[in-house]
Structure 1
Amino acid sequence: MADNSNVALPLSISAGIHIGVIIILAIGIDFTHKPEPVQQVSAPAVKAVMVDQQKVANQVEKLKQEKRDAERRERERQAELERKAQEAKQAREREQAQLKKLAEERKQQEIETQKANDAAKAAQLKQQQEKEKAQKAEAERKQKEQERKLAEDAAQKAAEKRKVEEAAAAKAEADRKQKEAEAKAKAEAEAKAKAEAKAKADAEAKAKAEAKAKADAEAKARAQQEQEMADALAAEQAALSQTMNKQMQTEVGKYTAMIKSTIQRNLVVDESMRGKTCTVAVRLANDGFVISSQAQGGDPNVCRAAKAAILKAGKLPVSPDPAVYNLMKEINLIVEPTFN
């Protein structure tokens, strides 16, 4: 019994010490310092303590391993958390980059949309301008066509009038020739009668004297008639010449007005030209092409504008009648700007 009591006490002490060591190791207390000396016990107790210390060492190593495993897992958990945090950061950065890209694309799309709208407006404006230009060109074409028709009508009327006057002149010439033939026939008849009267003169002196007196009277009358016919012919020629001159002057006036109208259509005016004029000498080819134009005097601005208008026209109206053209191939024009 005494031996059992002696063994039980050291075992209880050893067990308590082991339990304390395990608790201390569990909470991480360092055991590097030397343990305080323990009262010596008997040999059996020491042997039991050594056995238990091996268990304690094993237990301590197990706890250390568990601690290392726990630390390793904690490190892995921290690494996983950092990895996830990094991935989340990268995801946020990618999302922000995507949002930034979407914003830039939306901004670019807005810019392109604005450009497209601007281009559409510009195209619409250009289309409107081209439409207005076409309408203006059509109006000018119609105006020129109307002027051309008026000029053709006037030229046709003038040609018809000239034909009538030429027919009248031809009729007058035919009448004149007929009268001359009649006068000649009459003169021949009278000469024949005079010859017959002379043949009878020897036989009838009195008849001869009477025939002579009659012949003298008839000769005087014939001379007077011939003079009247010559005067009438001269009067007809003068009237015909006057008519033709008047007609040519009318043609010259008409084409002069048409030339001035053409220059006025192409004349660019401003208020500084109001009431001012310029005299321009123009040489024309037989088809109306402007060979040259030279300012003869007047306002410099009006002269420059007039020469520019003539150059822009290129061709000016001319009469197909050579006689009228000869009067107008070198013409001086007084250009005076008109204002609406």
Structure 2
Amino acid sequence: MAKEPKLSIPISISAIIHIGVIVLLVLNLNFDDKPEVIPQASAPALEAVVVSQSQVDQQVEKLKAQKLAAERKEKQRQDELKRQADKARKDREQEQLRIKKLEQQRQQQEKEAQQALAAAKAAKLKQKQEQERAQQAENQRKQKEKERQAAEAAAKQAAQKRKQEEAAAKKAADERKRKAEAERKRKAEEKARQEQERMMQEALAEEQANLSSLKNKQLVSEVNKYRAMIKATIERNLVTNESMRGKSCKVFIRLAKDGFVTAVKTLGGDNVVCRAAETAITKAGRLPVSAEPDVYEKLREINLTVSPDKFN
């Protein structure tokens, strides 16, 4: 592993210290002080040396002192060796403890590294899962947005179709109303025409019944009849409203032999009634006329007073 080189250095130092202690022990054992050898003065065999007792005692004391000094030195050396050995043992034990502690730290660090790696893997897995969930959520949001847009488009299309149908229905209703109004107007015109024919027939019948009457009376009657018919025609085409009530307009009308209106002119009266009268006469186009020349001459140019109250 990556941390093994750091542990090899303390182990090497411990081994060197142990070797050094052993070497010192060996060297101290070989260097024990030996008793000093007092050199013997060689004397001639024939020469006698006389040594006093005090000199001998001094020599003995000296030897004893040297021996004690040597023993003390040896003891000091032994104590020093023991101290060094104890120190080396303690250093070795401390080094072993330190190595053990380092090993424990290495194991702890390795454990923490493994835990960190596992945590990183777990975090990466969690991040991947969160990304997948986020992607799923985004896909769902896009799908819902697509569905919403489709629904809005369908609703818009349905609204447009409904408007078209409503417009078509309104157009159809307007067409039905227009046709109904046209039919009502046609029926009214037909009724007026029938009434006019009835009046004409009645007038003809009256004329035939009064053949023996004076021609002038017949002429007046015929003129009055056609004047009534002309008024009825104008009434049928006159559009009135409440603002016209109580008002009137005097108009001049010129007719061709076939009843075609060749001229119309207002001679005085309410402007609104006058405009309505001109419009009604122009809309009629042709007015009832008699085939009798003398009756036509009386009606060729006539003045009429148009009054909505009379017509309503």
TM-score with structure 1 setting the length: 0.52
- 2:280 corresponds, among 309, 322, 329, to 309
Q: Which amino acid aligns with 2:294?
A: A
Stretch of structure 1 that moved more, 312-321 or 268-277:
268-277
- Distance in 1 separating the partners of 2:171 and 2:271: 41
Alignment-derived partner of residue 303 in structure 2 = 332
Stretch of structure 1 that moved more, 127-136 or 92-101:
127-136
Are 1:94 and 2:68 an aligned pair? no
Please give the secondary structure, in 2, of the residue aligned with 1:317.
coil
Q: How far 1:312 sits from its partner (Å)?
A: 1.6
Are 1:154 and 2:209 an aligned pair? no
Q: How far 1:259 sits from its partner (Å)?
A: 0.7
Q: How far 1:306 sits from its partner (Å)?
A: 1.7
Q: Which amino acid aligns with 1:149?
A: E
Are 1:132 and 2:106 an aligned pair? no
Cα offsets for 1:49-76 (capped at 9, x unmatched): xxxxxxxxxxx9xx9xx99997997687
- Runs of at least 5 residues in structure 2 that lack an aligned partner in the other structure: 20-106
Q: How far 1:35 sits from its partner (Å)?
A: 4.0
Give the number of the structure whose alpha-carbon radius of gyration is greater.
2
Alignment-derived partner of residue 322 in structure 1 = 293
Please give the secondary structure, in 2, of the residue aligned with 1:332.
strand
- 1:266 corresponds, among 217, 237, 245, to 237
Indicate the percent of aligned positions where both proteins have the same amino acid: 34
Q: How far 1:285 sits from its partner (Å)?
A: 0.3
Cα offsets for 1:27-58 (capped at 9, x unmatched): xx79768742442278xxxxxxxxxxxxxxxx
The change in CA–CA distance for 1:32 and 1:317 in structure 2 (over 3 A counts) is farther
Cα offsets for 1:57-100 (capped at 9, x unmatched): xxx9xx9xx99997997687467436523531331232232232
- Distance in 1 separating the partners of 2:7 and 2:151: 67
Cα offsets for 1:195-216 (capped at 9, x unmatched): xxxxxxxxxxxxxxxxxxxxxx
Cα offsets for 1:228-265 (capped at 9, x unmatched): xxxxxxxxxxxxxx711111111000001111111122
Alignment RMSD, CA only?
4.1
Structure with more contact order per residue of length (Cα contacts < 8 Å, sep ≥ 6): 2
Q: Which amino acid aligns with 2:137?
A: K
Are 1:252 and 2:226 an aligned pair? no
- Distance in 1 separating the partners of 2:150 and 2:235: 63
Alignment of structure 1 residues 7-18 onto 2, 5 Å: none
Alignment of structure 1 residues 199-210 onto 2, 5 Å: none
- Distance in 1 separating the partners of 2:161 and 2:4: 75
- 2:14 corresponds, among 20, 39, 45, to 39
Alignment-derived partner of residue 193 in structure 2 = 145
Q: Which amino acid aligns with 2:184?
A: K
Alignment-derived partner of residue 81 in structure 2 = none
Alignment-derived partner of residue 101 in structure 2 = none
Q: How far 1:114 sits from its partner (Å)?
A: 4.1
Alignment of structure 1 residues 158-307 onto 2, 5 Å: 160-161=208-209, 165=212, 243-307=214-278
Q: How far 1:126 sits from its partner (Å)?
A: 1.9
Q: Which amino acid aligns with 2:142?
A: R
Paired residues in the alignment total 220
- Runs of at least 5 residues in structure 1 that lack an aligned partner in the other structure: 1-21, 43-59, 166-241
